[in-house]
Structure formats: C-alpha cells, structure tokens
Amino acid sequence: MDLPKRKQIRLREYDYSAPGAYFVTICTHERRCILSDIAVGALHEAPAISVRLTQLGQIVDETIRSLLERYSDLTVDQYVVMPNHIHLLLRIKAERALREAPLRENGTRSLLAKAVGYLKMNSSKRIREIKPEMQVWQRSYHEHVIRNEDDYRQIWEYIDTNPAKWEEDRYYGE
C-alpha cells in the first residue's frame, strides 16, 4: 500500500544550524487547550491580559528555559505559552563546526531541530509522569527563518501581543 507523502515544510538546502533568528510554533495534540489560560482583567481602566500557566504549561515553561543550559549556541529571545500552542523566537549564536541540514538521508539533524525535539520530548516525558496516557504535541512544528531586523521586530511584536488576540485565534474555544 502506498502511503501519502508528507508535505515538505522546511526550506530545501537551508542550513538550520546557521547563525540567525528563527520563529517556531509548536501546537498541542489535537490543539487541546492544556497549557495556559488567558485572563482579561482591568488595570487602571485599560484591559490587562495575563497568561496563567497550567501545571502542564509550567512544565513546558521550565523546559523552554532549560534549552539555554542544554544548547550553548542557542538563545531564547522571546516566547509565549498559549493555551494550545507555543511561540518561540530562537537565535543560533555561533557558526557551527558541523553544518547539518534537517533530516538528511544520513539522519543528522540541525541545531534547530535538535532543540525543538529536546523541548517536545522532555516536556512530554515530565507531563506523562502526571498524565501517563497523554499525547502532548502534534507531529512536527512550524518554523520561519527571520531574514532581517524588520521581520524580527514584527515577530517579537506578534509573540508579545498574541495573548491579547487569543479570542480572535481560529483555535480559540476548541
């Protein structure tokens, strides 16, 4: 039986270990709202938005922070843990001695793919200590190579304002 081919979502021939910034989005399995709650309150007559992490979201948050200890050439410039997804603005700082493309035929992976894999695997492992049968993440992730300072500022703003736009999200309330 021939299985359908998966759509290639990475840039062909792009080195995802190259120095630069990357915008990454990872969704929960079936886009379940398990990571946080978005609360709207008032602060001096202006709406105040807060992200309240669930117990599972706290685990994800801790795992994101541990990326800095695990990968010395990687920084997490900005991130947000939304109810059913996370956004990360990652930066690879140094020229890698070994340049790898994502999922080449020989099985090597880029620094970006390794960091995302570490985040998904380790947060899942800790969450399964609490909820043994839970499938936490969707397969794969979405990434965008940030090409210039304007792109970087727009992504930063998008991540920063994402909680305020939660009710407009197409997966809100699912």
pLDDT at position 107, please?
A: 53
Tens-digit pLDDT profile for residues 123-174: 999 999 999 999 999 998 999 999 999 999 999 999 999 998 888 776 655 5
Instruction: State how far Cα 45 lies from the chain centre.
Output: 33
Give the N- to C-terminal CA distance of the chain in Å, as an integer: 34
As a whole number of angstroms, the distance between CA 15 and CA 143 comes to: 13
The secondary structure of residue 153, as a DSSP letter, is H
Tens-digit pLDDT profile for residues 74-122: 999 999 999 999 999 999 987 553 444 444 454 567 889 999 999 999 9
As a whole number of angstroms, the distance between CA 19 and CA 23 comes to: 13
